[in-house]
Amino acid sequence: MDMHAAFMQQLMLWIEDNIEQKLILETVARRAGYSQWHLQRLFRSYTGVALGTYIRERKLTASVIALLNSNTPLMDIAIKYGFDSQQTYCRTFRRMFDLPPGAFRRKYQHTLPDIDGPASLLFLHPQSRLAA
């Protein structure tokens, strides 16, 4: 494994450990010790995905676990995962999953086995690069 691959794996683990925090690119870059521009370039070259897109998609898939495994209000889930408002959360969620979070919860809450991690959500993401 080359140095950049090891660094990216560590960065992705750090993002996972801090997924409930408000992760803005400037903060992530400072934590990584790179300029924001350079980190974004490295991340895209390693993953094929923009860093901001990766963080947003990870926050959304992490929020699905809370959405399906509880009756926590949408506002609380939105705040927990660092979205500025319930409206922003719902709009972003709908773009990724083709359903608003409330409808998604009603459709899947009692039809899926317990979801315990992001990998089990790949089949739900219509645009998933990994499911193809």
Longest distance between any two alpha carbons in the chain, whole Å: 45
Q: DSSP states of 35-98 as a string? A: -HHHHHHHHHHHHSS-HHHHHHHHHHHHHHHHHHS----HHHHHHHTT-S-HHHHHHHHHHHHS
Domains of the chain: 3-51 (1.10.10.60), 53-124 (1.10.10.60)
Q: How many residues make up the chain in this entry?
A: 132
Cα-based distances in Å from 117 to 5, 7, 64, 102, 114: 23, 23, 9, 20, 9
CB atoms under 10 Å from CB of 93, counted, come to 25
Mean pLDDT of 46-68: 94
Please give the full DSSP string across 12-36, using - where no structure is assigned.
HHHHHHTTTS---HHHHHHHHTS-H
pLDDT tens for each residue of 60-118 = 999 999 999 999 999 999 999 999 999 999 999 999 999 999 999 999 987 765 555 55
What is the average pLDDT across 27-56? Answer: 94
Global pTM? 0.79
